[in-house]
Structure 1
């Protein structure tokens, strides 16, 4: 069977949720609540930015794209896991597994690129404030986002095609709550050397290069901030960047832990915990960390809520 193009496995079993023996119903409600909070929070951010013309700026344009990506990111994994729990099944087809993996990694790449673009936006705003609007033009912003989508899709397509060529001969139980690359490679009875090398080299470049750009941006931002004579001005600049930095380290820390160490060092429990952090927790925190501490977003959300109550009162009246 080694080297065959067709897999003898037609479906996989996702064991991630069922492997947690303590109070599965409580775990189900926890994931459902986190998913609903992710969708609702990010939808409110999208609605607030679209309805308030004052927020039609490059920073909020990137934030709205990040909110959209985070909704899609969580929606590729959590609903399937919850549906399997309700229906009492654990199965996912071979093609469905590859499709889920494709979208998971595409949205990981998009989060990666958008965090980098947002760091560059903060660099221009802090280091070149007088030229901010001339540098961050709508055309450049659209180009940065569309280019990110193209690169993300090309990157993930390569990994999906490499995974599709592998054979899975007997064991089809994935100790995870979604089709991740690491547990899939462990199940393959084909030679996975090329897949591992491509993850470490090509995917490494996709992740490391943006991370280096973020570090350089913040080094330059720090140098510029320390030249500000006002302590209040320094604090304001650092506070606007602190939330972004927190999510950057949370996101990259879990990615590095999951994908940039030898395959044999992985355990199912630690992989699931790290995956929950970047597929569920981080997207849920996005509205709170990036937006709800921002007075412009809070004001826009207040207008949205007030408008909804006004329309509801008119309908009832």
Structure 2
């Protein structure tokens, strides 16, 4: 981490504690019921997102730009919740709030990476819908599988670099007083405020990060749907417009589930009790990952048709195996 520690060769020692204490849910009454709820949400998220990924991998008809982005969203949801929830339950449910310094940095990196990539993935899906409605005849030329893979790859690289910078700046901070993190995971904002040396670079990153990771993708998504609405109003009849807009309902639900709770929490940050803020943010971190596959399975005809085809193929295979066994 010498790149992030320019003063390391000037005989300046950074005080790194052996551990941090995660104390986000301390003092909340009946909180164990909430842990059970988080566990159920996590299991549902694992099953649902694994199912969506398996269906897209097995059905060649779903090898399209849209479903490349859907697959990435399911991947991010699955591993994002896996990075966050098991450790969260280990810390609070089994009363093990101590986390080693290096483990905390790794926890911060993986949680922030997976949670952040969701917003860019939703922006990629918005771009896909925009191109499909704006250029219906040239959509397959303008938005190819290679283009979508490259777009998602760029998003991954950008997010990983942004999170690495955040973690790297944390490593140049000294912690000579409190090591208690008032959050449900190794939260960047809560950690850098504990530092007893200059934390201004981390403060700047904490201000820029939400703008780059959340507000810019949200602005693009809103612009995309404004443009879609204007386009449909100009070139389509009401019936055709509703039919075209119906293909966006699933994505709009995902955007609402992901962004609206964040907007409420950040807008009312000062008016919300710290315990309520922590619970709301934790639900915002895990709940969309459970709902995303449910929404896509129920709202997307292609996935429902794909599931039916795969079930029919499985049933036929079992019948064929059974017939062979009978003949033998």
TM range (shorter): 0.7 to 0.9
Cα distance, 1:199–1:254 mapped onto 2, change above 3 Å = farther
- Aligned counterpart, 2:182: 175
- Aligned counterpart, 2:21: 13
- Aligned counterpart, 2:3: none
- Aligned counterpart, 1:110: 117
Compute the TM-score of the two structures, normalised by the length of structure 2.
Answer: 0.85
Cα distance, 1:156–1:186 mapped onto 2, change above 3 Å = same
- Aligned counterpart, 2:231: 224
- Give distance in 2, aligned partners of 1:5 and 1:238: 59
Q: Deviations over 1:155-208 (max 9, x none)?
A: 111111111111222322223221112222332223333212222135523433
Q: How far off its partner does 1:141 sit?
A: 1.2
Task: For structure 1, list consecutive stretches of 5 or more residues without a partner in the other structure.
Answer: none
- Give distance in 2, aligned partners of 1:147 and 1:238: 28
Cα RMSD of the aligned pairs, angstroms, is: 2.7
1:124-135 counterparts in 2 under 5 A?
A: 124-135=131-142
- Does the 8 Å contact 1:34/1:280 carry over to 2? yes
- Aligned counterpart, 1:282: 288
2:210 maps to 1:200: no
- Aligned counterpart, 2:305: 299
- Does the 8 Å contact 1:9/1:94 carry over to 2? yes
- Give distance in 2, aligned partners of 1:254 and 1:88: 28
Secondary structure at 2:96 match in 1 = coil
Secondary structure at 2:193 match in 1 = helix
- Give distance in 2, aligned partners of 1:168 and 1:306: 60
Q: How far off its partner does 1:275 sit?
A: 1.9
2:101 maps to 1:120: no
Q: How far off its partner does 1:92 sit?
A: 1.3
- Give distance in 1, aligned partners of 2:157 and 2:267: 24
1:1-317 counterparts in 2 under 5 A?
A: 5-22=13-30, 24=32, 26-85=33-92, 87-256=94-263, 268-305=274-311
Greater RCO, CA 8 A, separation 6+:
1
Q: Deviations over 1:84-140 (max 9, x none)?
A: 345431221111111111112212331121111111100000110100110111221
- Which range is displaced more, 290-299 or 198-207? 198-207
- Give distance in 2, aligned partners of 1:184 and 1:266: 20
- Does the 8 Å contact 2:189/2:206 carry over to 1? no
Quick check: which has more Rg, 1 or 2?
Answer: 2
- Give distance in 2, aligned partners of 1:267 and 1:69: 30
- Give distance in 1, aligned partners of 2:190 and 2:313: 48
Q: How far off its partner does 1:304 sit?
A: 3.9
- Give distance in 2, aligned partners of 1:104 and 1:13: 17
Q: How far off its partner does 1:260 sit?
A: 8.1
Cα distance, 1:223–1:33 mapped onto 2, change above 3 Å = same
- How many residues are paired up? 312
Q: Deviations over 1:233-275 (max 9, x none)?
A: 222222322332233244234445666898x777532431332
- Give distance in 1, aligned partners of 2:35 and 2:287: 15
- Give distance in 2, aligned partners of 1:163 and 1:260: 26
- Which range is displaced more, 172-181 or 35-44? 172-181
- Give distance in 2, aligned partners of 1:292 and 1:59: 16
